[in-house]
Amino acid sequence: MPGLMPWKPLFPLFLVLFSVVAQAGDPSDLVDPFVGTLNMGHTYPGATVPFGGVQLSPDTRRLAMFDDQGQYVREVYRYCAGYQYEDSTITGFSHTHFSGTGHSDLGDISLMPVRGAVNLDDPATWQAGFYHENEEAYPGYYAARLEEPACDVELTATTRTGLHRYTYFSGNQGRGRAGVVLDLTANIYDYEGKNVWTFLRVENDTLVTGYRTTSGWARTRTVYFALAFDRPVVDYRIKRLDKTPYNGFYRRFDQENNFPEGAGRQVRAAFFFDLPEEGKLQAKVGLSGVSCAGALANLEAEAPGWDFDGAHRAARQAWNTELDKIQAKFMNNDQASVFYTALYHSMLSPVVYQDVDGSYRGLDQNIHQAEGFTNYTIFSLWDTYRALHPLFNLIQPERNGDMVASMLAHQRQSVHGMLPIWSHHANENWCMIGYHGVPVIADALAKGVPLGGGFTAGDALQACVETARVPYFDGVGEMVKLGYVPDEVSGSSASITLELAYDDWCITEMARSLGRDGVAAEFEARSRNFENIFDPRIGFMRPRDRDGAWRPDFDVMATHGQGFIEGNAWNYSLYVPQDVPRLVELMGGGEKFSAHLDSLFTMQIDDEHIAHTEDITRDGIIGNYVHGNEPGHHIPYLYNWAGRPDRTQERVREIMGSMYGTGPAGLCGNDDAGQMSAWYIFSALGFYPVCPGSAWYALGSPLVSEARVDLGQGKALEVVVHDQGPQNIYVKRVVLNGKEVKGVVVNHADLAAGGKLEFFMGCALKNVSGPGAEG
């Protein structure tokens, strides 16, 4: 690895002007939860705590997944998080939301304040208009004024509960009795039949319990709840919308009015109250994946009284504590806001998925006890193995050790014996390719992060090996024989071959470190499979059929239908994080490789080439490089191995400046459960985990002026950027713990020991020619 050129600061005085101390108040003040709520960021503005199991947020439209003709409604993709900033109507406040995902589900247990009679058959009778000027959101808090009924809504949350405070204008006077609709039919990404079953009990005049099972993206998912009000319900209705033929159960009851139980496929309820003049009503909801009793216990443990303000303060304090783990200064407040919003978004998943007593529903649908770890869910691993979990290994090692434990428990509960692929709420939805739980685990081990739950490195390796040996998963069986996944097996055969080669390299490294030579040899061979699909005649990775023939009529630009998934050959051909030097060699050496990367960033991709890939939008593209989706996130850093770290520095700074911004449109694509944000955080600190599972980070160009990264256990990494400035994007010299860094990477151990990483910046272009990587 080449050392960077020595360099002297040119404009130290000028730069001081930009080194605004970003943290005048709470770091929470720098966070804007609306970032990403417009277009395809797929974030939600509602209230949640760090890694909180409840995400209480407004939903702004009800969209069926299929139209009257049974056609998929592409518009629903925009509503993955339930909320779109351009909408002016709120349909309800539900308690579960994905943050930034590329697919949707959830939207459970929707509440909505109402006035007077509502028609429970018709959601239009309770959805309400609102204006953004009457709306605000901070970490752990959301508020909006509903126009009709005139009502202020405030939301906050704990890990397992959501708290609502409603203020109905003019108290109990006029416009009918104040009420709350509980809509158990409301779903994000709805379709006829998504609701499998709902169950409801009015336990007493202030407590309602129940659950609902849905079959959506998660095939079998049950959310149990306990809903409490701070005033007695004086009148209520329960409406079952589905008509099941047998109706005898209720033949002797008026089942709709003040009858304390209801169940069916589609159930809604409305509760009414006599309010005092000031019109205040509070509601709180505990959730559980285990049982109604668990939901109630969670509610009683985390929100025992009616102290909304106290809960809000606690939520904010929890956010401040987490956000303070990186104390960074920036050149301007917008950068600080983007950074801290990214840091906020990086802690919205995975989320805690267990009751306060440690019990949780496992993948096998049985109830398990989390012994020695906290169980987490929402693993969007194709996205998050890249930078999010590596970020956790820096600033959330204990949580990440528990997330690994959660994945290992999942693997033991899996009938396939597989680690999660894309898992949420005790389900595997199999979204995207690879078994990227493996690099998450390998990265934790490589970085010495202790695993939760008493799992050993040997347990972890075993889980990875079992996962990687499932022959019917994505063509693995044929891949083992042929050295690649053949085109006939999967429409993503080339992507799969590439990503599994990387995952298998992670297994190799783990096995080697544990002295498991046989396993290491088995997977090392597999880790080189990328070479088998590189077509040297065209210089791209390319699908092959079972006979070894290259795919004919191959379009290297199209992001769909060419053997790759959510990316084209241009981007995916650069996916060999485990052996960048070999990739450079295959591509003809550093100079050609560098020129190739230049082409990627400067050529144009046509609309038709991205038309069939929801996750790729114009907003997230530079030339033909796609930052708005994951498979290329390491690409800007690859210039380092072509002897052009300056180009890496340019592109990284360009991407930070153009692909991330303030305001609702601040994200260039799905935040992808925090991966997009984690890319920003690493890059802003000046380094990036190009190859998770290894202990090295590639160097980039920091955006911070200085930063203190709390590594836990009293250790901190200091990042000091000398001569930072908008034009000073080039890194002249890097000094780690007083010692000049030779090459383009730094080692985790050197940072994690509590080091000081100094960047010396400059604006002068220099022609760096250096050797490839020894990463």
Q: Any contact of residue 191 with a second copy (CB under 8 A)?
A: yes
What minimum distance in Å lies between the beta carbon of 180 and a second copy? Answer: 19
Q: Any contact of residue 199 with a second copy (CB under 8 A)?
A: yes
What is the DSSP secondary structure assignment for residue 710, as one 8-state letter?
E
Q: Any contact of residue 561 with a second copy (CB under 8 A)?
A: no
User: Rounded CA gap, 388 and 338, in Å?
Assistant: 16
Do the bridges between strand 756-762 and strand 715-722 make them parallel or antiparallel, or are there none, so unpaired?
A: parallel
Backbone angles phi, psi at 207, to 5 degrees: -135, 130
In terms of CB distance, is 359 or 374 closer to a second copy? 359
What minimum distance in Å lies between the beta carbon of 719 and a second copy? Answer: 42
Piece of the chain touching a second copy by CB under 8 A; list 2-10, 165-173, 196-204, 329-337:
196-204
Which one of residues 301, 431, 514, 595 is an interface residue with a second copy (CB under 8 A)?
A: 431
How would you class 352 by CB atoms within 10 Å of its CB: exposed for 0-12, middle for 13-18, buried for 19 or more?
buried
Return the amino acid letter for 107: G
Which one of residues 259, 306, 550, 554 is an interface residue with a second copy (CB under 8 A)?
A: 259
What minimum distance in Å lies between the beta carbon of 622 and a second copy? Answer: 30
Taking CB under 8 A as the criterion, which residues in 446-505 touch a second copy?
Answer: 472-474, 490
Taking CB under 8 A as the criterion, which residues in 349-388 touch a second copy?
Answer: 364-367
Which one of residues 6, 25, 248, 515 is an interface residue with a second copy (CB under 8 A)?
A: 248
Taken as a whole, the chain contains a residue count of: 775
Taking CB under 8 A as the criterion, which residues in 636-675 touch a second copy?
Answer: none
What minimum distance in Å lies between the beta carbon of 547 and a second copy? Answer: 22
What minimum distance in Å lies between the beta carbon of 366 and a second copy? Answer: 4
In terms of CB distance, is 211 or 639 closer to a second copy? 211
User: Rounded CA gap, 606 and 623, in Å?
Assistant: 10
Nearest partner of 61 among 154, 123, 15, 140, judged by Cα: 123
User: Rounded CA gap, 341 and 717, in Å?
Assistant: 21
In terms of CB distance, is 341 or 629 closer to a second copy? 629
User: Rounded CA gap, 594 and 585, in Å?
Assistant: 12
In terms of CB distance, is 100 or 475 closer to a second copy? 475
Which one of residues 109, 111, 292, 704 is an interface residue with a second copy (CB under 8 A)?
A: 292
Site track 4-23 with a second copy (rule: CB under 8 A), x = hit: --------------------
User: Rounded CA gap, 442 and 435, in Å?
Assistant: 12
Which one of residues 65, 638, 667, 746 is an interface residue with a second copy (CB under 8 A)?
A: 65
User: Rounded CA gap, 161 and 70, in Å?
Assistant: 37
In terms of CB distance, is 194 or 596 closer to a second copy? 194
What minimum distance in Å lies between the beta carbon of 430 and a second copy? Answer: 6
Which one of residues 11, 14, 18, 66 is an interface residue with a second copy (CB under 8 A)?
A: 66
Q: CA-CA distances (angstroms) from residue 461 to 423, 451, 457?
A: 20, 12, 6
Which one of residues 263, 480, 720, 736 is an interface residue with a second copy (CB under 8 A)?
A: 263
What minimum distance in Å lies between the beta carbon of 55 and a second copy? Answer: 22
Q: What is the Rg, in whole angstroms, of the alpha carbon atoms belonging to the chain?
A: 26
Using DSSP, how many helices (H) and how many strands (E) does the chain show? 19, 36
What minimum distance in Å lies between the beta carbon of 377 and a second copy? Answer: 17
Q: Total number of residues binding a second copy (CB under 8 A)?
A: 53
Q: Transcribe 160-205 into DSSP letters.
A: SEEEEEEEETTTTSSSS-EEEEEETT--SSB-TT-EEEEEEEEEET
Residues 6+ apart with CB under 8 A from 644: 590, 594, 768, 769, 770
Backbone angles phi, psi at 365, to 5 degrees: 70, 5
In terms of CB distance, is 208 or 275 closer to a second copy? 208
Q: Any contact of residue 68 with a second copy (CB under 8 A)?
A: no
In terms of CB distance, is 185 or 429 closer to a second copy? 429
In terms of CB distance, is 202 or 745 closer to a second copy? 202
What is the DSSP secondary structure assignment for residue 533, as one 8-state letter?
G
Residues 690/720, Cβ–Cβ less than 8 Å: no
In terms of CB distance, is 201 or 756 closer to a second copy? 201
Buried b (16+ CB within 10 A) or exposed e, 5-36: bebebbbeeebeebbbebbeebbbbbbbbbbb
Which one of residues 55, 94, 209, 624 is an interface residue with a second copy (CB under 8 A)?
A: 209
As a whole number of Å, the end-to-end CA separation of the chain is: 8
In terms of CB distance, is 70 or 738 closer to a second copy? 70
What minimum distance in Å lies between the beta carbon of 293 and a second copy? Answer: 4
What minimum distance in Å lies between the beta carbon of 85 and a second copy? Answer: 27
Piece of the chain touching a second copy by CB under 8 A; list 214-222, 369-377, 461-469, 631-639:
214-222
Piece of the chain touching a second copy by CB under 8 A; list 21-29, 248-256, 276-284, 588-596:
248-256
User: How many Å is the maximal CA-CA distance in the chain?
Assistant: 88
Q: Transcribe 36-47 into DSSP letters.
A: T-STT-----SB
CA-angle at 381, arms to 376 and 387, nearest 5° = 100
Q: Any contact of residue 170 with a second copy (CB under 8 A)?
A: no
Which one of residues 26, 203, 300, 324 is an interface residue with a second copy (CB under 8 A)?
A: 203
Q: Which residues pair with 660 in a beta bridge?
A: 667
What minimum distance in Å lies between the beta carbon of 76 and a second copy? Answer: 11
The position carrying tokens 């990186």 is 326
What minimum distance in Å lies between the beta carbon of 562 and a second copy? Answer: 17
Half-sphere exposure of 377 (CA within 13 A, CB side): 26
Half-sphere exposure of 445 (CA within 13 A, CB side): 26
Q: Which two tokens stand for residue 267?
A: 């159930």
Q: Which two tokens stand for residue 255?
A: 């089942």
Q: Which two tokens stand for residue 278?
A: 């000031």
Piece of the chain touching a second copy by CB under 8 A; list 257-265, 341-349, 391-399, 638-646:
257-265
What minimum distance in Å lies between the beta carbon of 197 and a second copy? Answer: 5
In terms of CB distance, is 126 or 473 closer to a second copy? 473
Taking CB under 8 A as the criterion, which residues in 400-429 touch a second copy?
Answer: 415-416, 429
* CA dihedral for 693, 694, 698, 704, sign (positive or negative): positive
Site track 509-538 with a second copy (rule: CB under 8 A), x = hit: ------------------------------
What minimum distance in Å lies between the beta carbon of 218 and a second copy? Answer: 9
Q: Which two tokens stand for residue 68?
A: 């009257």
Residues 6+ apart with CB under 8 A from 305: none
Q: Any contact of residue 712 with a second copy (CB under 8 A)?
A: no
Return the amino acid letter for 252: R
Residues 123/91, Cβ–Cβ less than 8 Å: yes
In terms of CB distance, is 369 or 658 closer to a second copy? 369
Taking CB under 8 A as the criterion, which residues in 69-98 touch a second copy?
Answer: 70
Which one of residues 44, 126, 217, 505 is an interface residue with a second copy (CB under 8 A)?
A: 217
693: left (phi over 0), alpha (psi -120 to 50) or beta: left
Piece of the chain touching a second copy by CB under 8 A; list 147-155, 268-276, 291-299, 713-721:
291-299
Piece of the chain touching a second copy by CB under 8 A; list 238-246, 385-393, 450-458, 723-731:
238-246
Q: Sheet harboring 57-59: ordered strands across?
A: 57-59, 92-94, 110-115, 178-183, 267-273, 235-240
Q: Contact positions toward a second copy, by CB under 8 A? A: 65-66, 70, 191-193, 196-197, 199, 201-203, 209, 211, 213, 215-217, 219-220, 244-246, 248-254, 258-261, 263-265, 291-293, 364-367, 415-416, 429-431, 472-474, 490
